[in-house]
Structure 1
Amino acid sequence: MSSLSSGTLMAGKIVYDQFLSGNRTGLEPVLIAAAVPARAKQRVAEIGCGAGAGLLCLSQRLPELDLWGIEADAPSIELARHNLAANKRENVTLLQATFPYDLPGTLPFCRFDHCFANPPWHPTEGTPSPHAQRDLARRALTDTLESWIKGCTRLLRHKGSLTLILPASLMSRACTALTEHRFGDVTLFPLWPKTGREARLMLIQGRYGVKGPSRILSGLTLHTPEGGFTPESSRILKEGEALRLSLQQVQAATRANPGNS
């Protein structure tokens, strides 16, 4: 295995190694894992799981899930296995495949309750990264976003959810692709860097085979004016609290805390 750097996720709750060079893990896998509306014992797949950060964070919050990770890069799959073993995660299956093109014709699993992904989004015509793994993780083909959304329809059960984290500049394309492939109840959740700053990242979630209306939630402010994490983002990034994006979750939270609605 290539040279690694050792660190942690979620304020030390998860030990996590990553490659010294190439794509580095940021806040995105922690945030997207917090947004998956899974319940105990459900089946969840991460598309493009990399070294396993998203799978680790989701299983930290919900240890009884049946988790799958799909990843094209063989060294990343090997590192994900290493990280999962180091954190004693035994309920995760990893599949090396370039999604969705070389998935097995007969999938070796039943339909999933939820899928989530942080798709590559850097433009195809941009300058290539000198690190092949970083380039694979970040460079989108012209149809990457649309093909990943369409590919998830092969995996999801009826009414299953798909959660994506994307640059705000891709919001329109993502919403169009979700609608074309029969996703409804589409929710947009902006991630504000600080109060008064425009959101560069967006969580987008839809449910397969439903016709519910779209909505934009108030989102999450990540940092205080001084640069530290806000109390709300700290509870998610450090303590593993869930983000509520689905209509059912928002309604349940409002009923439980009517003064905060």
Structure 2
Amino acid sequence: MPPALPSPAAPSAPPTTQGFLLRGRVSYTQFAQGYRTGLEPVLMAAAVNARAGQNVLEIGCGAGAGLLCLMHRVPGLAATGMEKDPQTAELARQNLQANSYPHATILTGSFPEDWHREEGVEAPRFDHCMANPPWHADNGAPSPEPRRDLARRLGQHTLRRWIEGCATVLRHKGSITLALPTSLADQALVALSASGFGGSTLYPFWPKSGREARIMLVQARLGVKSPARLLPGLVLHEADGAFTTAARTILEDAAPLGIG
């Protein structure tokens, strides 16, 4: 009998770096190469008007930065994240455990395609959904780092599918919060309206006073008929590049953004 072939080795975990969010209030580990967390998930989490005891879902949660910031600001949340990349999803679980959130759930899969794969399991009704979708067009040059490419490349219908999926898991008048480049605002508003969301609120972030906004938050509620609003937004940096006082209260002190 020929000798048994050895089982293929499991892929080794990529190297990580240890850091912090919210000026040391949250421990955060991320991969050393590939996609690196920016300001967007922290700003997004600050805008979600959640209360203790409510259910929150983050789609494309990455290593968990948005969930971690929101759960730090609002203790007692029931939080779920969904992430397509298995190694990133596992890192998010480790980050939640390291910050003493063992009861938060991270699911591995694509949203909404994999959401209902457990037959007979009724999907929960969430009070809030949030997402920081990929920002770059699907037809752009691919990144040589697969994980970075997955996090950055927006599929042709990804934004619309995520919004449609949120409409199926949110309770009536539940909120959706999206961190987007301003170039996707029009697509988001069309998809939100088509999926039954209303009361859309646009909140731009100005890199410096007098500069064009490049990122913004779009927030809406399912089943409401209120008209859209454009708020004054927030200036992120002083002329010398330092964060403004208002930005520091959000990014460092975990203050709520107060969009709602």
Deviation at 1:90, TM superposition (A): 2.2
Deviation at 1:108, TM superposition (A): 5.0
Deviation at 1:2, TM superposition (A): 1.3
Report 1:1-261 matches (<5 A). 1-105=13-117, 106-107=120-121, 109-246=123-260
What letter corresponds to residue 12 of structure 1 in structure 2?
Answer: G
Please list the CA deviations of residues 149-193 of structure 1 after superposition, one character each: whole Å capped at 9, or x if unmatched. Answer: 001011100000000010001111111110111100100000110
RMSD: 1.0
Equivalent residue for 1:250?
Answer: none
Find the aligned partners of 1:91 and 1:195 in 2 and give their Cα distance. Answer: 42
Identity over aligned residues, as a percent?
Answer: 53
Which of the pair has more CA radius of gyration?
Answer: 2
3-state SS of paired residue (2:136)? coil
TM-score (norm 2): 0.92
Aligned residues: 246
Please list the CA deviations of residues 195-231 of structure 1 after superposition, one character each: whole Å capped at 9, or x if unmatched. Answer: 0001000100000011111000000111111111111
Find the aligned partners of 1:107 and 1:20 in 2 and give their Cα distance. Answer: 37
What letter corresponds to residue 126 of structure 1 in structure 2?
Answer: G
4+ aligned runs moved over 2 Å, structure 1: 105-109
Please list the CA deviations of residues 3-52 of structure 1 after superposition, one character each: whole Å capped at 9, or x if unmatched. Answer: 01111111111111110111000111100000011111100000000101
Task: Single out whichever of 105-114 and 195-204 deviates more from structure 2.
Answer: 105-114
Contact 2:116 2:123 in 1 (8 A): no
3-state SS of paired residue (1:44)? strand
Unaligned runs of 5+ in 2: 1-12
TM-score (norm 1): 0.92
3-state SS of paired residue (1:31)? helix
What letter corresponds to residue 13 of structure 1 in structure 2?
Answer: R
Please list the CA deviations of residues 49-76 of structure 1 after superposition, one character each: whole Å capped at 9, or x if unmatched. Answer: 0101111000110110000001111000
Contact 2:171 2:222 in 1 (8 A): yes
Deviation at 1:107, TM superposition (A): 4.8
Contact 2:177 2:218 in 1 (8 A): yes
3-state SS of paired residue (1:154)? helix
Contact 1:65 1:91 in 2 (8 A): no
Contact 2:127 2:170 in 1 (8 A): yes
The structure-2 alpha-carbon separation of the partners of 1:109 and 1:212, relative to structure 1 and needing over 3 Å to count, comes to same
